Amino acid sequence: MIRIPFDHSYARDLPDAWVPVRPETPPAPELLYWNAELADELGLDTEQASEAELARLFSGADIPEGAQPIAQAYAGHQFGGLSPSLGDGRALLLGEVADRNGQRRDIALKGSGQTPFSRRGDGKAAVGPMLRELIVGEAMQALGIPTTRALAVTATGEPVYRERPLPGAVLARVAASHLRVGTFQYFAIRGETGMLEKLADYTIARHYPELAGQDGRHLALLAAVAERQAALIARWMHAGFIHGVMNTDNMALSGETIDYGPCAFMDAHYPGTVFSSIDHQGRYSYGNQPAIAQWNLARFAETLLPLISPQDPAAAVPAATEIVEGFEEQYQRRWLEQARRKLGLEGERDGDQALADDWLVLLAAHGVDHTLAWRYLADEAEGKPERLAGLFPSPDALAPWLKQWHARHVPRTRRPPDIAAAMRRESPLYIPRNHLVEEALDAASERGDMKPALKLLEALRQPFVEREGLERYALPAEPELAEGYRTFCGT
């Protein structure tokens, strides 16, 4: 059996934050996807392993030597309502490895069966949702957005039952950690301040080691998490990404995007866009994501109050509140930094925020594709207006804003082709278009055909480089396909 050099710092340092669990043995595991690049990054010696060995190892059929499968405990606010005991209902952590850069990474299975936290669920997953997590996670990686990643997707050879029987699958997920806001909530709800302190110091040691041992480290932890979340959400918003289920148990303290359930990328720019079938009120709409991130941070801050001021937790409220309220400014700063690059602007001027905001208002007013508008603006920068103009109903709709944008570029120290090239490095051409994702998932789930998924992944690996033969991967769906599009959790 392949040996993976697992460590188990989470299990060792936080003995009350997990329960042991064994994955269920799938009857006929078959490897659908193997991420050899990621395996090499993790330092895994799997080159000589057969597909059958990998399928058994990363589906739960075989327990890797040195693994210690556990289900992690956490709570969470789900759509604003507190669930005090959630935990890994269909996932388990095999252990941690040190990658080639010396960074500790979790390897976990998702969809491997019931755990003590399953709450009447079967703990299993279907091929479609696991491939969605693979495709979207790899797209985010290529876009430079911090994310968990898929090491493997393995069909189990048995059905799972949702609205109808679907082919089952297990995802092997790699994450900087699975520490969540909900992990802290689990112990705060129970008044277990000692465990909260252990958890905070573990989080600091793993993700913010520069804070270790400092006085005031718990307040500093809140500030550091807020800074990473501001950067992350700004990247989501520029990419047109909608997470779909930003519960507190889905906010990773590492600053990675985690738990790709009913997620999707927006086509036409519209702040109220919602794809999740269960988000009936639009709580997690595209435009509401920064505010929800701030709300989640407030819940994290509440858990830290007894650590920030042990003698009088209420005394910590003003300092914690200042950090939470400062998130909006941090996010806006991060968003504007990237907007300036995508607009090709040099330096900083007072009117840049208004210029960027007006661009988005223009896109929303005319239902213009978010991704192509940003991308084709680079054409305009080098005097090729045709593709951008073609996105709008008439030249008159675009002309006033373009006049302001061109005026902002004066004086100019770079050549127009250089400005355009720099803009294209910030604005992708290829994203996981919803109709293409569904096409890939349907082919794999209904016919066992992985070719569409692999072709889509190949296009997404270089999202900023325009390539011949990939034209369909750059275009949004026809309106009749896009209308009413919904995504599902898969549970």
Residues placed in the known binding site for ATP:
87, 89-90, 110, 122-123, 173, 180, 259
* 207's tokens: 């993700």
Name residue 413's amino acid: T
d(CA 43, CA 62): 20
Amino acid at 325: E
Which segments of 115-180 does DSSP mark as H helices, in order?
127-143
- The CA distances from residue 315 to 118, 217, 243, 327, 439, in Å, are 38, 16, 35, 21, 54
Cα atoms found within 13 Å of the Cα of residue 63, Cβ hemisphere only? 13
357 is a catalytic site residue: no
CA angle 141, 277, 432 (to 5 degrees): 25
In whole angstroms, give the CA distance from residue 24 to residue 160.
Answer: 13
Return the structure tokens found at 326. 């400062």
278 DSSP assignment: T
Contact 246, 77 (CB under 8 A): no
Whole-angstrom distance, CA of residue 118 vs CA of residue 98: 30
- Distance from C-alpha of 92 to C-alpha of 170, rounded to nearest angstrom: 11
**Sign of the CA dihedral running 461, 466, 471, 473:** positive
- Tell me the HSE value of 455 on the side-chain side, using a 13 A CA sphere: 17
- DSSP conformation class of 414: S
Residues annotated as binding site?
87, 89-90, 110, 122-123, 173, 180, 250, 259
Q: How far out from the chain centre does Cα 15 lie? A: 28
Contact 269, 358 (CB under 8 A): no
Alpha-carbon Rg for the chain, nearest whole angstrom, is 23
DSSP state of 453: H
d(CA 111, CA 119) in angstroms, rounded, equals 14
Pick the catalytic residue: 249, 267, 279, 369?
249
Strands 91-98 and 125-126, by their bridges, are: unpaired
Annotation: binding site for Mg(2+): 250, 259
Half-sphere exposure of 139 (CA within 13 A, CB side): 32
Classify burial at 147, counting beta carbons within 10 Å of its beta carbon; exposed 0-12, middle 13-18, buried 19 or more. Answer: buried
Helices (H), 263-415: 289-308, 317-342, 352-366, 370-381, 386-389, 395-408
Catalytic positions, please?
A: 249
